């Protein structure tokens, strides 16, 4: 069921396109693997831009790449949430080292398109560079360019300008489709240069639309999906296409919409974010079944979860995690959660698995959707500061298992077995005879029980809210495992020996039995292990984690190929890295991270990271005798296990000192509030109609910011009144995203501030908030003649459009202005953000005066600003800017992750936009939170040079305002890292 050469040629009119998918069979060649299958065997070699044609097929078990079974173990990473291209390589290398063979990538339309017809894929938006980097890292790419992505970004990824256009989004509306085609043309021009089928990149799969359930039962929805499919194909994208079905509705299965006669090019996928308090669901091929059961909706395609919960997002105020932030997300969806839920997926036959998120990153600038604040850490396995957390262990173990042990790519359900206190799944590989058992404990207390297996009853212990993986009959190179109570992680042939690694929790006793018809010669290379040979079986015991890695060497007997058995707990296992080179496979033990390996004759050149002092051990091809670590030769010895091991330790990361922040200068702004401010260059707000979903109040002009081309950040209004005599009160109706805010002045005198409520657990998903500020007008401000009403609205972000109802078009900014006591005539002008920053893009800046004048930029001259110190305590309504510089001197062979931490009395009502070297890296709301520390990405942050920090503080006048404490925080460090270029 691979993609058909003929149907592609018919659709795209290109023989070359058909050949790219069907191999080199020439015209009329049958579809590769159509209707067939493949035996269990080695996985494909790691992908690269190798210049060779490749085929991508599938059956119900898995993808088939060049005739070999591929289990996809992918992690989600959004380049737009890490605006430093050098660091893309860092995170991608961490993913590859820790077991991932693919990266899933959203492409955000709003990030690349500041205006209709304008597209920018340069600098931090260089999609071509990201795809090249993924290929160089050896990762497949799952490309997800929308047009709608959701992703907790502004408008669900729709560009701001789309809010002011005719046409209903996410339907077959011709106006909307014309913009979609323009976007996809731009993306696909880049994507087709990186298709794995052509050997020019590693793009393996391509998603059209996302979580599209709004019009799935309507002609408009079917026509829309058909249009997207045919557009992508006509642009030359010849890899399998798919959609991510939100909530397992059975929508968009193969055959549910018109694909212009093409068959076999479409995969069904669905997402799931089960709560840690719930029982892991059976959503795969072996679940309850039916069209809404998950993979059972499409039994002829492999089980595919384009998104499965690797954490969860947190709203303003922190209601999702009781104000504890993403640390609580990581705690509740920890390594045990991953084992319990991901092993359940594996037991259900899901072989295309993408963890959302694996690195969450930062929703910097005006990128975040209303439902999230700046940090998008997500509680992911790799945190926002690029630190690998304890959650990586299951990902590392399962990822390497699925790549290195081919039996797991073709599992069938086997007869049920039961064990008291546990849920047990039993599967088998009919090609190899391997049996797989997943034993899951859904209770809170550990369970010790007997597990019936085909190799006899095994006594096992499974901790509360955890799961374990066991195998029997598993081939280990030239030998066969009878059973093991520890989970296999990998089996390799390195040099002239086989190496098998088994893992479990610390202090568990691993019990392993090898089938050995002839008595072998066994060496216990570490004192923790024990062994005995009895009647054709070798029994090995090892307590996991005691003394680090435990090694047992098995030689002779029925084969001359040695088998090295390795036993590791979680902490030890994540320091073991397999790596494939043209000269053979290596296994490296010791460092915190292995980035890259090259063999030069007898020398092994390794690059990677070290956080604490450690030895380095390498098993590799015969003939190696020298280790070079990060460019430096290290003394070694040959061990009894056949490895090269350093005679000393690699040094850990050195101390990193951060300076105190001082030398602050201050300047107040918002001259727009004054009656004499010249607003003649501002746009007149006098439109009568709008494409917004918000109704224009009768008798009022359109005041919605988007209708005047202002889509991000703050927006100013100035209304000229003919007469305020008798005006007792002004009512300012406005609409914003979560935590929007309004400030008003009359003739430069503050009238007051209004803000939207902090969301609670019932309103965390609310994307648009409407409110009315009812502000009294003091008698001293009532008089005949010209007056100016000035209003600043922090509009926050556009709602997403998850239900396909154009909710991204809900108004932002003022919606209506009325008066009590009199009815003065008002003429309005409006001003928001200036032209998109050519380096930082459209989401960086809003409409504050200081932003329009460049106060946030490093080169701005602030010598005449007032010198101040922190903490501050003043009462003012409006905007105050603070600027300082600081210098860092981090050694160039150290990767230090640095954050900015702000703290103050939580009663004080103010917020601050954080600008580092001109980059808007987030919004701090002092009395809302929960975020206090903001990551400063290297590349934007000059770790060896001078940095400019600016804070734009909005004070509400209702309380004293800060800032209070503002300091640099070291979030992580490692000796190593990647070279970082300034952005």
List, edge to edge, every strand of the sheet that includes 550-555: 487-494, 497-504, 563-569, 550-555, 521-524
Which tokens belong to 472? 């029997």
On the question of pLDDT at 9 being above 50, the answer is: no
Q: Which residue's entry shows tokens 């919606």?
A: 815
The mean per-residue pLDDT over the stretch 21-36 comes to: 34
On the question of pLDDT at 861 being above 70, the answer is: yes
Q: 154: number of CA atoms within 13 Å, CB side?
A: 31
The predicted-structure confidence for 329-368, as pLDDT tens digits, reads as follows: 999 999 999 999 999 999 999 999 999 999 999 999 999 9
Please name which of 563, 405, 586, 581 lies closest in space to residue 491, comparing C-alpha atoms.
Answer: 405
Q: What is the pTM of this model?
A: 0.96
Q: Rounded to whole angstroms, how far apart are CA atoms 267 and 436?
A: 26
Question: CA dist 138 to 45, 394, 630, Å?
Answer: 9, 21, 20
- Which pLDDT score, from 0 to 100, does residue 539 have? 98
Q: Are 30 and 18 in contact (CB under 8 A)?
A: no
Largest CA distance in the chain: 108
Other beta carbons less than 10 A from residue 115's beta carbon: 14
Q: How confident is the model at residue 29 (pLDDT cuts 50, 70, 90)?
A: very low
Please name which of 375, 356, 364 lies closest in space to residue 315, comparing C-alpha atoms.
Answer: 375
Q: Rounded to whole angstroms, how far apart are CA atoms 162 and 920?
A: 23
Q: Rounded to whole angstroms, how far apart are CA atoms 608 and 617?
A: 13
Q: Rounded to whole angstroms, how far apart are CA atoms 463 and 511?
A: 17
The predicted-structure confidence for 474-509, as pLDDT tens digits, reads as follows: 999 999 999 999 999 999 999 999 999 999 999 999
405-418 burial code (b ≥16 CB/10 A, e <16): bbbbbbbeebeebe
β partners of residue 772: 733
Q: 630: number of CA atoms within 13 Å, CB side?
A: 18
Q: How confident is the model at residue 287 (pLDDT cuts 50, 70, 90)?
A: confident
On the question of pLDDT at 127 being above 50, the answer is: yes
User: Which contacts of 833-836 are long-range, i.e. CB under 8 A and separated by 24 or more positions?
Assistant: 833/710, 833/711, 833/712, 833/713, 833/714, 835/114, 836/114, 836/115
Q: How confident is the model at residue 36 (pLDDT cuts 50, 70, 90)?
A: low
Which tokens belong to 816? 């209506």
In 3-state terms the chain splits into helix, strand, coil percentages (rounded to 5) of 15, 35, 45
Q: Rounded to whole angstroms, how far apart are CA atoms 381 and 313?
A: 14
Q: At what angle do helices 219-234 and 5-12 cross, to 10 degrees?
A: 90
Which tokens belong to 963? 């800032």
Q: How confident is the model at residue 289 (pLDDT cuts 50, 70, 90)?
A: confident
831-857 burial code (b ≥16 CB/10 A, e <16): bbbeebbeebbbbbbbbbbbbbeebbb
Q: At what angle do helices 5-12 and 15-22 cross, to 10 degrees?
A: 150
- Which pLDDT score, from 0 to 100, does residue 3 have? 39
């Amino acid at each position: 069921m691979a993609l058909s050469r003929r149907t592609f040629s018919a659709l795209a009119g290109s023989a070359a396109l058909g050949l790219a998918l069907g191999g080199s069979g020439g015209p009329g060649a049958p579809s590769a693997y159509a209707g067939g299958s493949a035996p269990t065997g080695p996985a494909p070699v790691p992908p690269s831009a190798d210049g060779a044609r490749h085929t991508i097929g599938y059956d119900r078990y898995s993808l088939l790449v060049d005739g070999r079974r591929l289990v996809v173990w992918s992690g989600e990473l959004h380049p737009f949430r890490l605006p430093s291209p050098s660091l893309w390589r860092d995170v991608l290398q961490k993913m590859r080292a820790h077991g991932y063979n693919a990266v899933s990538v959203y492409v955000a339309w709003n990030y690349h398109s500041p205006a209709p017809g304008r597209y920018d894929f340069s600098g931090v938006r260089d999609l071509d560079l990201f795809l090249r980097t993924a290929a160089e890292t050896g990762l497949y790419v799952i490309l997800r360019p929308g047009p709608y992505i959701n992703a907790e970004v502004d408008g669900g990824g729709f560009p701001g300008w789309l809010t002011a256009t005719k046409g209903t989004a996410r339907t077959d509306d011709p106006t909307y489709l014309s913009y979609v085609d323009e976007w996809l043309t731009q993306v696909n021009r880049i994507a087709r240069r990186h298709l794995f089928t052509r050997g020019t990149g590693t793009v393996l799969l391509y998603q059209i639309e996302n979580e599209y359930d709004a019009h799935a039962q309507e002609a408009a929805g079917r026509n829309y999906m058909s249009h997207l499919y045919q557009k992508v194909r006509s642009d030359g994208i010849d890899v399998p296409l798919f959609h991510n079905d939100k909530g397992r509705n059975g929508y968009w299965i193969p055959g549910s919409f018109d694909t212009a006669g093409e068959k076999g090019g479409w995969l069904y996928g669905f997402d799931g974010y089960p709560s840690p308090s719930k029982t892991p669901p059976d959503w795969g091929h072996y679940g309850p079944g039916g069209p809404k059961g998950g993979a059972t909706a499409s039994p002829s395609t492999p089980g595919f979860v384009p998104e499965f919960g690797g954490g969860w997002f947190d709203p303003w105020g922190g209601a999702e995690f009781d104000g504890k932030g993403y640390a609580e997300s990581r705690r509740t969806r920890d390594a045990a959660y991953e084992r319990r839920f991901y092993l359940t997926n594996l037991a259900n036959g899901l072989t295309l698995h993408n963890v959302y998120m694996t690195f969450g990153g930062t929703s910097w600038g005006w990128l975040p959707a209303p439902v999230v604040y700046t940090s998008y850490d997500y509680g992911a396995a790799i945190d926002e500061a690029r630190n690998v957390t304890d959650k990586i262990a299951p990902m590392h173990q399962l990822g390497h298992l699925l790549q290195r042990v081919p039996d797991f790519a073709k599992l069938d359900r086997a007869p049920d077995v039961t064990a008291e206190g546990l849920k047990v799944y039993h599967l088998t590989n009919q090609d190899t005879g391997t049996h797989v058992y997943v034993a899951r404990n859904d209770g809170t207390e550990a369970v010790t029980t007997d597990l019936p297996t085909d190799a006899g009853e095994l006594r096992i212990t499974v901790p509360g809210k955890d799961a374990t993986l066991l195998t029997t009959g598993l081939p280990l190179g030239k030998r066969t495992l009878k059973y093991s109570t520890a989970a296999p992680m990998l089996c390799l042939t390195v040099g002239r020996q086989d190496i098998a690694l088994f893992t479990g929790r610390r202090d568990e006793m691993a019990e392993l039995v090898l089938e050995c018809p002839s008595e072998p010669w066994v060496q216990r290379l570490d004192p923790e292990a024990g062994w005995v040979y009895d009647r054709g079986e070798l029994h090995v015991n090892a307590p996991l984690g005691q003394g680090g890695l435990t090694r047992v060497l098995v030689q002779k007997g029925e084969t001359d190929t040695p088998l090295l058995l390795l036993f590791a707990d979680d902490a030890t296992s994540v320091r073991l890295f397999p790596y494939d080179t043209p000269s053979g496979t290596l296994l490296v033990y010791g460092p915190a991270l292995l980035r890259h390996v090259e063999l030069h004759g007898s020398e092994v050149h390794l690059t990677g990271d070290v956080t604490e002092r450690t030895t380095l051990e390498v098993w590799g091809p015969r003939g190696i005798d020298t280790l070079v670590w990060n460019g430096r030769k290290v003394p070694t010895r040959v061990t009894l296990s056949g490895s090269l091991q350093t005679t000393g330790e690699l040094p850990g990361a050195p101390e990193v000192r951060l300076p105190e922040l001082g030398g602050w200068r201050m300047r107040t702004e918002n001259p727009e509030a004054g009656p004499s401010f010249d607003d003649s260059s501002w746009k007149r707000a006098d439109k009568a109609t709008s494409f917004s979903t918000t109704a224009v109040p009768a008798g009022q002009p359109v005041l919605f910011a988007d209708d005047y081309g202002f889509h991000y950040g703050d927006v100013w209004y100035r209304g000229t009144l003919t007469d305020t005599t008798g005006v007792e009160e002004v009512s300012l109706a406005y609409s914003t995203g979560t935590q929007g805010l309004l400030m008003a002045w009359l003739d430069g005198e503050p009238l007051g501030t209004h803000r939207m409520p902090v969301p609670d657990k019932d309103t965390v998903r609310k994307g648009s908030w409407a409110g009315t500020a009812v502000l009294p007008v003091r008698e001293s401000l009532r008089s005949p003649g010209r007056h100016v009403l000035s209003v600043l609205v922090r509009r926050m972000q556009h709602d997403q459009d998850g239900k396909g109802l154009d909710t991204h078009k809900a108004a932002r900014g003022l919606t209506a202005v009325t008066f009590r006591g009199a009815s003065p005539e008002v003429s309005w002008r409006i001003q928001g953000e200036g032209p998109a920053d050519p380096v930082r893009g459209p989401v960086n800046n809003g409409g504050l005066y200081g932003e329009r004048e460049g106060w946030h930029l490093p080169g701005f001259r602030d010598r005449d600003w007032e010198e101040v110190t922190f903490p501050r305590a003043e009462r003012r309504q409006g905007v105050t800017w603070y600027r300082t510089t600081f210098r860092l001197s981090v050694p160039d062979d150290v990767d230090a992750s640095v954050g900015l931490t702000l703290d103050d009395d939580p009663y004080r009502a103010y917020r601050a936009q954080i600008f580092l070297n001109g980059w808007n890296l987030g919004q701090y709301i002092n009395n809302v939170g929960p975020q206090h520390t903001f990551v400063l990405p290297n590349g934007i942050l000059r770790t060896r040079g001078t940095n400019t920090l600016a804070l734009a503080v909005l004070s509400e006048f209702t309380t004293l305002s800060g800032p209070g404490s503002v300091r640099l925080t070291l979030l992580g460090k490692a000796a190593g890292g990647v070279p970082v270029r300034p952005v």
